[in-house]
Every structure is written in C-alpha cells, then in structure tokens.
Chain A
Amino acid sequence: MTNKLISLAKLKVGMSGVIEKIDEALLPHNIELEAGELERRLLEIGIIEGVHVKVLHFGLIKKDPIALQLNNGEITVAIRRNEAEIILVNQSIRK
C-alpha cells in the first residue's frame, strides 16, 4: 500500500484511516471564521491528528454531510464535505 495522504472528503463509505494532518490552509473557499478557528473546532470535537477515523454514512444530496466514527467507535460525529477537505488521512496504517 502507498503511503499517500488523501483528503477525508475523498473517502467512500466504509473506508478508514488515521488522521495525519488537519490544516485549514487547504480550505478551497473562504469562511467567515477567524484564523485557526475551524481547525480548533474540529480538534475540540475529537478530530485530531493520530485518531483513527472511519466513514460511516453520507447524506442524500451531494453525499453531504458525512458521519464519521472516531477511535474505533468511541464517538460518532458529523461534519460537512467542505470541512472534510482540510483533513488528511493515511489509509495505509491499520489499527
């Protein structure tokens, strides 16, 4: 398996990986939040580097939002596809 990082937004339902990097500089569009805020909110809800993440469900329209399982089922959170762009996962690490 390759060691390439892939954006969480590109994963399909059922795929998983370990979060390697969260960087709001990757955001394709502007948001109304101050610098660092989006990253901080993701971190606070538990989406952090080193955490194992699995894609559980997509919404109906444009596969948005995305439900994620963190830490092998410790919690389930939902975020939007837009924000998932800034989360890079490494699929080669198995937990």
Chain B
Amino acid sequence: MSVSVNVSGGISLDNSKHLRVALVGKPNCGKTALFNALTGSRQKVANYSGVTVEKKHGYFKTPENTLVTLVDLPGTYSLRSRSPDEKVTRDVVLNQFKEEKPVDLIMAVVDATNLSGSLRLVLELKQTGIPLIIALNMIDLAKLRGFEYDIEKLSSLLNCPVIPTSAVKKSGISNLVAEVDRHDQLETTSNRWQEPDRDMVREYHKEVHSIIRSIETRKGMPSLWSARLDKLFLHPVLGLFILLTILFCMFQAVFSWATIPQGWMQDTFDSLQAHVAALNPNSFLVSLVANGIIAGVGSVIVFLPQILTISLFIILLEDTGYMARAAFLMDKLMGGVGLHGRAFIPLLSSFACAIPGIMATRTIENRKDRLVTILIAPLMTCSARLPVYTLLISAFIPVKTVWGFANLQGLVMFALFAAGIIFGLIMAFIFKTFFFKGDRQPLMLELPSYKAPNLYNVLLELIKPAKSFLRRAGTIILSVMIIIWFLSSFPLPPEHATAPAIDYSIAGIVGKFLEPLFRPIGFNWQIVVALIPGMAAREVAVSVLATIFALSGTNDDVIREGLTVILQHAWTLPTALSLITWYVFAPQCISTLAVAKRETNSWKWPTIMFIYQMMLAYLMSLAVFNLARYFIH
C-alpha cells in the first residue's frame, strides 16, 4: 500500500500539508490495528481492553500529498476520563497539552459488532466540534455474524463520513485515507463538550438507540463460539482448573521444550570459549574475550528459548481473549486482598516484565488500588529472573518425574511463580489494610469475544522480547561483563600467590568486604559480587557467576564442566535455595524503580518499593536458609 511513508521522506517535500489526526474509540475496537495498518507501525495489538495506555505517533502520506501525523490513543468509554490512560485520550482530544498542536481531525473507530457500545462516544466527540471521520471497523466480523447496516443513512444521521474497514484484513484502509484528503469539506465548530452526568449518558443512549433502530437492516447473531468456550473457561470449578493447568503447562514447557535448544546453544558457546581460550592462555585479551565476553554474555543468551516460551504463552493468552477470563476467575481472590480482578491483567503482564505491567496499571481508576498494584508488580516473576531460576534449579533440583507426569524442575519453577503471586497478594493485603484504607472498588470488565490467534501478530509480538533480550545482552550485559572482568582480574595477584587470582582483585575484595552482611542468609562473596551488577539487569547475575568461576578455576574446569556442575560443587543446597528465594523478592531492577517513579510522579513510592522488597527478601532468605540447614543436617 502506498500510504506508509517515513517522516524524513515526507517532511522534506515542499508544499505538502500537515495534519494531526487522532484515533479515538472504545477499548478493544481495533484502533491500534488500524494505526498499524495506516502507518506501517508495529504497536501492540491484543484482544482485551486496555492494551494501549499511552499515546503513540505514526506518520503516513495521503495520495494528495498531505503528511498526516496519526496519534493512537488509549480506548475510552467517555471523554470524561476516569483512569490515567483515559485521561491521555481526553487531554489530546480537548487539547490540554499546551505544547502540542491541537487535533485537526478525529478518526472515530466504531466496533461494527457493538454499535450501541461505540456510538455514544461518537456523539460525545461530535460535541467537541472537531471534524470527524468514522471507521466502521471489524466489518468482516459483523458480516460474518449477519449484521447489516445502512451506511449512507448512518453517515447522514451523524453528519460525517462513515467508512467500513477491517484493520486485520486490511480492507477499507485506502477509502479511509481518501476521506482524510477530503477533510476540508467537513466543518469545524466550537467546542460544546460537557462532562456527561448519569442523566446525560441516558440521553445519549436514547439517541444511539434510535439511530441504530433506523440503520440496522439486519440484526446479527452473538458469537456462538465465545458462548461455548465460556461455558468451559468460565465454569466455576472447571474454569479455575483450566487456568491453573495453563499456568502449570507454561512452566513445564520451560523445562521440557526450552531446554533442548538451550543445550545446543550452550554447547556452541562452550566450544567457542574453549577454542578462544586455547589460542593463548597467557594473554589478557584472550582472557577478556573467553572468560569475560563469551562466558558472561553467552551464559545469558542461552536462556533465550526460556524467555520465548513464557512470552509465547502470555501472547497467546492476550491474543485469544483469555486474559479477561483470567481476570474474571481471579476477581474473588483479588477482592479478598482489596483489589479487583482487572488488576490481575497488569500482574499477569508482569510475568513478561514488570515495566509494561506497571504501565498497564494506568487502566485502574482508583489511585490507591493503582499504587498498591504498582508496588506488588515487581513480585511477579518476570522473564529476566528465568536465567537465574533455571540455572539454580537445574543445578540443585534433580530431574525427576513426580506424580507420574510432572517434571520436578518445572514444578519448582511453578512454585516460585506461585510464591511471587501469593506474597504479592499478601503484601497487597497489608498495604490495603494499613496504608490505603478504603472500600472495594466496583468491577466492570468487558469480556471480548474469542479470536483465533493471528500468526503474524504472534510472531511480531514474540520478536519484540527476543530483540530486547538480545539487545540487553549485547549492550548492558556486555559492558557490565567487561567491567566485571576488569574488576575481577586486577589488581594482579602477588607473585607466588596460592589462592586464585580473583581473590586479590577489586571484585574479590569488595565481595569479601560485604560478605558478612549476607552470611546469615548463606551467601558467599561470589554471590555478593553477582548481586551488585544484577541491579542493572537481573540476568547479569548469571553472567557474573560464569565469569567469576571462569576466572577462579586453576585449570579450565569451568569450560569443561559448565556452570551448573561448578555450582553443584561450590554451593550447598541451603545457599542455593536462599539465593532463589532472594530472587523471588529482592528489588533487582533499576528500570522498574525508574518506571515506578515516572508513573507515580514521586520518589516516595519507588523508595517504599525498594525498602519493603529488600526487607522481605532478607527475611525470607534468612528463613529459607536456616530451615534448609535444619532439615538437611
């Protein structure tokens, strides 16, 4: 399609007009899918309300050479905005950001399978006086279900162009663009918008109802598949069982599917490291490359299959429409700690990474509930913890089949995730009872109809975490590893030293200095050294351990035996369990704290987050370490 053009190409052309167009519509009506189709962007599209929580800009050029800046916005039911994400939409439409140009044109996206839910917002948008084009989206689905509309009549009743589109099938897109070119024929009037109170909402609804009655030439059928699937997935007992089974399979998969490609990657890196190390055993450069870069970065990259496995599960849950069902099933449990089921969606997203999870809390209306959800989001096990968990589990938990079908390692992983969730809920309860007293908020949750996952979309969303993981490995982790290698290699040991060289290095000295603080929870100095750079990126801890052991080896044991075996000899089981526990709770990610600062607009909350997590981690590790020692001896 000729409409997608990059900015630089567009701006350099003279006498081209510029236009600022905003996509506005109710949640989950396909705004972002349209945005991607129009601009060639790859913003996240998924089948639940509240995917987009901030404004995104994209560009395209019309056949008549108008350069359009398209703004994708969070979905909203009304311009009055009751949650932070909806406020973004309201502020763009009503031009409350003084530093930006006002919107010239609104592309109102209407869900053709749910006109009564979509048109009230359109009536509100008309009050703003900004020219309006309507994209009657999901027209493919509407046809499939048998809806038929008199589109010309709809257009004349609303007094604005109405273009049927299907963002997914990419139909109607060029008509939409052509309509943007005709925008000067639309009139701009003054802003008469007022926040609708309950009676005005009722008035709007009456108007919508009468419009629909006169344009709906045939009424469609409900989605039969959704009704059937819901009988299963929302069944009070069976539904919960299925939810647990899905989560359980997710962690089994990490240990059954993902370990196979991981093994191949591990072998490749090991032989590479051995080859490089053999080049010249006495050269510093060779040591840096072999022990610092290959051992360190390689030890993290091998966990890519694990990250992809977890991401795949979460993407499928999001894309099929299951996410909202999970929120429904978890509502009572969440309600028990004072939150509502919707908070479960940000928490489930936090399994991939706490950062989008914290962003997703923007959909929570109540400020107290939102703060509590932000505070507990880092306790959900993010994918960056997977390398650490996997390394320690495969070193210390035997490969065993329990109950005839479950892999013990996968079971332990499941338990770790469960521990994150359970303690998250306990902390939420504590915060809600002691610091944020308040009543329970009402739940209003739309359950979208199920959709078959779109293969292209799944791949697209799968590439994103893979890219960011590899980028981190190539940037943060690589540079941290080079620094760690220096700190662990210099100063050089005195002549005739008996202990490994690393004991005399800066890292060794710092680690041993801090060790007493961590001795009660069973950490040795190597762990302490690994924890500090782990703040930059959790996975780095694995790399640091790989490098430290690579440098401590008097011969090349590490290369031959691999980190797993080395750890088995170097650490006791209580120490390993204590470190795993530490990782469940500890604040080990600077970016999370930074996002919490940005989203709450104060240092207070990230500080509280850091302190409570630190205390929790220390206490829990202390308990686990001592209990394990007691039972093992």
Which A residues are within 8 Å of any B CB, using their own CB? 30-33, 36, 38-46, 48-50, 56-65, 67, 69, 71-80, 82-83
Contacts and interface: CB of A to CB of B under 8 A. Distances in A.
Contacts of B82: 41
Given A65-B443, A73-B221, A78-B331, A43 B236 contact: no
A5 to B, nearest CB: 18
B439 A78 contact: no
A50 to B, nearest CB: 7
Those 6 A-B pairs whose CB atoms lie nearest each other, nearest first: A73-B222, A60-B236, A57-B234, A76-B447, A44-B77, A78-B445
Contact of B205 (A43, A67, A77, A82): A43
B211 interface: no
B442 A79 contact: yes
A43 B234 contact: no
Nearest to B444: A45
B195 to A, nearest CB: 10
A23 to B, nearest CB: 10
Question: How large, as a class, is the contact surface on chain B?
Answer: 35 or more
Contact of B116 (A30, A38, A46, A57): A46
B339 to A, nearest CB: 13
Contacts of B231: 57
Interface string B229-242: 01100111101100
A41 B222 contact: no
A93 B230 CA distance: 26
A77 B341 CA distance: 13
B48 interface: no
Contacts of A57: 230-231, 234-236, 328
Contacts of B465: none
Nearest to A13: B236
B232 to A, nearest CB: 11
A40 B201 contact: yes
Nearest to A57: B234
A74 B114 contact: yes
A65 B328 contact: yes
7 contacts: A60-B236, A65-B332, A65-B445, A73-B223, A78-B444, A79-B443, A83-B443
Contacts of A32: 366, 438-439, 441
B222 A43 contact: no
Interface string B320-335: 0000100011011001
Interface in B434-457: 438-447, 449
Contact of A62 (B226, B332, B439): B332
A26 B366 CA distance: 23
A44 B78 contact: yes
Given A77-B447, A79-B442, A64 B332 contact: yes
B209 A50 contact: yes
Contact of A60 (B219, B223, B240, B439): B240
Given A31-B442, A60-B236, A61-B332, A78 B447 contact: yes
B165 interface: no
Nearest to B441: A32
A59 B113 contact: no
Given A38-B442, A41-B442, A57-B235, A78 B117 contact: no
B227 interface: yes
A10 B116 CA distance: 26
B439 A65 contact: no
B143 interface: no
B447 A65 contact: no
A15 to B, nearest CB: 16
A82 to B, nearest CB: 7
A78 B443 contact: yes
B222 A74 contact: yes
Contacts of B442: 31, 33, 38, 41, 79-80, 82-83
A50 B212 CA distance: 14
A65 to B, nearest CB: 5
A59 B116 contact: no
B192 interface: no
A60 B442 CA distance: 18
Contact of B113 (A33, A74, A79, A80): A74
Contacts of A83: 442-443
Contacts of A50: 209
A40 B198 contact: yes
Nearest to B196: A40
B99 interface: no
A75 B446 contact: yes
A67 B447 CA distance: 8
A45 B77 contact: yes
Contact of A56 (B198, B234, B335): B234
Contacts of A76: 226, 230, 446-447, 449
Given A49-B202, A72-B222, A65 B341 contact: yes
A43 B237 contact: no
Nearest to A68: B447
Contact of A77 (B235, B236, B438, B444): B444
B495 interface: no
B197 interface: yes
A67 B444 contact: no
Contacts of A42: 444
Contacts of A71: 116
Contacts of A41: 82, 442, 444
Contact of B331 (A64, A73, A77): A64
A79 B611 CA distance: 36
Interface in B298-341: 324, 328-329, 331-332, 335, 340-341
A48 B332 contact: no
Contacts of B196: 40
Interface string B165-201: 0000000000000000000000000000000111001
A49 B236 CA distance: 29
Contacts of B445: 65, 77-79
Nearest to B227: A73
Contacts of B366: 32
Contacts of A39: 198
A56 B230 CA distance: 9
A33 B550 CA distance: 60
Contacts of A58: 236
Nearest to A56: B230
A80 B77 contact: no
